Structures are given as C-alpha cells and as structure tokens.
C-alpha cells in the first residue's frame, strides 16, 4: 500500500491496468509529477538511515537553519550533542556523531520528516527497534507536530496505533477489518481485540 502511495512501481503479481486509483485530496496521484508527490509525503522508516554528511544535510539542506533547529528541538535533539560541537551553527555543518543511539537516530528521522510539514506522514514500523519509553517519546513527538497531516501507522505492536481514528487489520496479507478502535474492541472474539488482549497480557 505504501509502495502504491509513493508510486514505487507496480505491485508484484498485480497486472498493470488492473483498475483502481489512489487519491490524495481528491487528486489521482498518477497525474502528479514525482517531485510534487514526494514533497507532500514523508516516511519515518523502521531502520533509520543516517548519512555520512553534515547534520543539516541529514535533516534537510533546503530548509533554513532556524527550521532545522526547530525540528530537532521538537524531537528533543541537541545539535551540539549529536555532533560534539560547542555552537549550534557549527554543529549544523558537522557530520552526525557515529555513536548516537538507535533512539536518537529514529528521532532524527522524525525531524527529517516533520521539517517538511507533509500532508501524509507514514510511520513504517518506526518503533520496532526501540524500547517502550523511547517508542512512546517518538510517538508523542510525532503526534504533537503532525496535527495537519494524515498519519498512516504500520505496526505490529497494537498499543502504538490504539489512538488512531481508524485501523485497517491485515493478517498474512489478507484484509480482516477496517473500523474505529471502539468498534474493533467491541468484537471481543475478533482478530484485533483478541491480539490486543494478548499483547497487554504479555506486557503486564
């Protein structure tokens, strides 16, 4: 689904011209230029990618220093700390410190996404490698600073999507349900409610 949204090519096993459209604000995305589409969609991936480049390049070289610093501050990141520099202007043009934690790397990915103020923000299992406290911190940051965006969260840990407006439940690639959290939990024998109870029991 995310591949379709980002127009990464046809889905495996799906013949071309098989029908269906993806609409963004009522516009068929197949009619948009790639650059225009990618400007309104941002992804926080499962595995963070930190470039061997200055901090500002890692967040967004096309943005002003102030915009980059603000996005970093939203994500509780200190430019000086993650580059081992004394001043913020110097830090922005220093390579990111190699030893920053996985949690800090994911927060950096969040800053990279949020500085773009996207219309659509995709969270692709972005909490998978984090402990519970860091995962909660990352999601709090994203929820606070993406109020104007449509957020698509892909997750196996259901507690991280429980505040979503609607949830699409997939199992082994098969469509199971699409509904509000309240309705999914009311179906006590349903796939979602059953797995949510099991997850809570295991975390307790």
Q: Is 15 inside any structural domain?
A: no
Residue 4 lies in a domain: no
Assess whether 102 and 35 both reside in one domain. yes
Its pTM stands at 0.84
92 and 190, same domain (yes or no): no
122 and 195 both lie in a single domain: no
- Note the pLDDT of residue 67: 96
Give whole-number Cα distances, 21 to 17, 29, 110, in Å: 10, 8, 29
Say if 14 falls within a structural domain: no
pLDDT tens for each residue of 172-183: 878 899 999 999
Q: Is residue 138 part of a domain?
A: yes
Query: Are 116 and 60 spatial neighbours (Cβ–Cβ below 8 Å)?
Result: yes
- For residue 20, the model assigns a pLDDT of 77
Question: Of 113, 18, 40, 112, which is closest to residue 32 (Cα–Cα)?
Answer: 40
Indicate whether 190 belongs to any domain: yes
Q: Residue 100's domain is classified under what CATH number?
A: 3.40.50.300
Residues 131 and 170 in one domain: no
Quick: pLDDT tens for 148-176: 899 999 888 888 888 899 999 988 878 89
Residues 59 and 115 in one domain: yes
Mean pLDDT by 10 residues, the chain (204 residues): 77 66 85 87 89 93 95 92 92 88 90 94 85 84 88 87 90 88 93 90 75
Q: Is 68 helix (H, G, I), strand (E, B) or coil?
A: helix
Q: Is 1 a domain residue?
A: no
Number of domains the chain contains = 2
**Tokens 């490698």 correspond to what residue?**
129
What domain range includes position 193?
163-204
Phi, psi of 179 (to 5 degrees): -165, 180
């Amino acid at each position: 689904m995310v591949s379709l949204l980002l127009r990464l090519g046809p889905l495996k096993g799906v013949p071309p011209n098989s029908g269906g459209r993806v609409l963004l604000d009522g516009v068929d995305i197949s009619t948009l230029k790639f650059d225009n589409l990618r400007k309104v969609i941002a992804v926080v991936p499962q595995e963070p990618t930190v470039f061997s480049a200055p901090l500002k390049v890692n967040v967004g070289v096309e943005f002003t220093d102030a915009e980059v610093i603000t996005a970093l501050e939203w994500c509780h990141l200190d430019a000086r700390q993650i580059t081992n520099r004394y001043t913020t202007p110097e830090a922005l043009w220093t390579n990111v410190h190699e030893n920053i934690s996985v949690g800090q790397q994911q927060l950096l990915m969040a800053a990279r996404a949020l500085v773009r103020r996207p219309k659509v923000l995709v969270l692709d299992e972005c909490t998978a490698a984090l402990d519970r406290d860091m995962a909660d911190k990352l999601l709090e940051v994203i929820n606070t600073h993406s109020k104007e965006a449509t957020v698509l969260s892909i997750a196996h840990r259901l507690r991280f999507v429980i505040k979503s407006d609607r949830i699409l439940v997939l199992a082994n690639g098969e469509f199971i349900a699409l509904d509000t959290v309240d309705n999914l939990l009311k179906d006590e024998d349903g796939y979602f409610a059953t797995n949510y109870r099991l997850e809570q029991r295991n975390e307790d």
